[in-house]
Amino acid sequence: MVIVNLGRKEGHGKRLGKYELGKTLGEGNFGKVKLARDTDSGKLFAVKILEKSRIIDLNNTDQIKREISTLKLLKHPNVVRLYEVLASKAKIYMVLEYVNGGELFDKIASKGKLGEAEGRKIFQQLTDGVSFCHSKGVFHRDLKLENVLLDAKGNIKITDFNLSALPQHFREDGLLHTTCGSPNYVAPEILANKGYDGGTSDIWSCGVILYVILTGYLPFDDRNLAVLYQKIFKGDVQIPRWLSPGAQNIIKRMLDPNPKSRITMAMIKEDEWFKEGYTPANPDNEEEGVYIDDDEAFSIHNASLESDQGSPTSPPLVNAFQLIGMSSSLDLSGLFEKEDVSERKLRFTSTHPPKDLEERIEDIVTGMRCRVQKKNGISTMLDFS
């Protein structure tokens, strides 16, 4: 077991073994992520600092173990690398690859849609990373823009494997049954609550990501969760005609609501649009020689963990997907509101002041030979063409 002491002050940072801890990069439910420097090599890392008490209180030990066990299997240029796991009496330290380019979500939010060449390159790397995970028996189950990071060169790194599934999580029918993921990215078969293939559902999520990359908005979106699920179930996606035929085709095949006819990873890699300019990644098979012992990292408080599992004062947290999954006979379609597709409205957000937006919109519609009529604070466009 590796027990570390936090030494004080080399310069202005705390010490974690050979690592000097720096600024906080982010915070989560269980602790912080800090920038760290290897004092021997000078190389930068991101250290995820997990508070054991928080993990135990929230009954999330299995989730953290799952993330560590999963990352131990994955050594690929497009997957965030786990280098080392250390532990003190109260904390667990995951030493991870430092990725300094931010989330893909932020890139799309600030820049809008990407050109097909740039978008295809990102999608090729995403496909490489996800297919490698699948080859190792790892299914992510929460693929979304926020879980795809960018390095300084614009290459992607898949992260956040908290909800990932390994072969031991499959039931006797060979399927997964935990309802999880993020609403806008979740595959319809997951919502159906009848078991699903983790690889096929990951492909759906990759299709949603590709759609957002190339269009700048989500293929399935609604404030009403029931209506959102209805759209996902129907697979009723409106693919812009200004996308190339190749891009339209691969998106349509990835967002096929029938998992049995949905395109596979092997078929994606043979697609002509996908193959343009494609250079396959080379997985890193070399052993790093680092010490990772996730079981020992948790062993200090095993007694407390066991007593807390059944404690009435520590109820498990239940998210919306888990709540849906509690009933094997729950048919979500009965909850759906009927929606006339012809009445679907587009929504958008902006950081500009409302007055500026209103004036800009009026200028545009006036240029289209239309007139804007205002009444009771509501603007209506009248078409006189």
Q: Which residues are annotated as a binding site for ATP?
A: 48
Are the beta carbons of 324 and 226 closer than 8 angstroms? no
DSSP code string of 271-333: -HHHHTT--------S-------HHHHHHTTHHHHHHHHT-TTSPPP--HHHHHHT-TT--GG
Length of the chain: 385
Residue the block writes with tokens 């002041």: 353
SS3 176: strand
Half-sphere exposure of 292 (CA within 13 A, CB side): 19
Q: Token digits for 115?
A: 């050109």
CB atoms near residue 220 (< 10 Å): 23
Are the beta carbons of 86 and 47 closer than 8 angstroms? no
CA atoms of 249 and 305, how far apart (whole Å): 50
Query: Which amino acid is it at 232?
Result: I
Residues belonging to the binding site are 48
Q: Is 88 exposed, middle or buried (0-12, 13-18, 19+ CB in 10 A)?
A: middle
CA atoms of 305 and 299, how far apart (whole Å): 9
Active-site annotation holder among 38, 40, 62, 142: 142
Are the beta carbons of 22 and 35 closer than 8 angstroms? yes
**Spatial CA neighbour of 298 closest among 41, 157, 90, 144:** 90
CA atoms of 63 and 70, how far apart (whole Å): 11
CA atoms of 19 and 24, how far apart (whole Å): 14
Residue the block writes with tokens 């420097």: 37
Are the beta carbons of 32 and 23 closer than 8 angstroms? no
Residues with Cβ < 8 Å from 245, sequence gap 6 or more? none
Is 142 labeled as catalytic in the residue annotation? yes
DSSP code string of 55-81: HHHTT-HHHHHHHHHHHHH---TTBPP
Query: Which amino acid is it at 27?
Result: E
CB atoms near residue 244 (< 10 Å): 12
**Active site residues per annotation:** 142
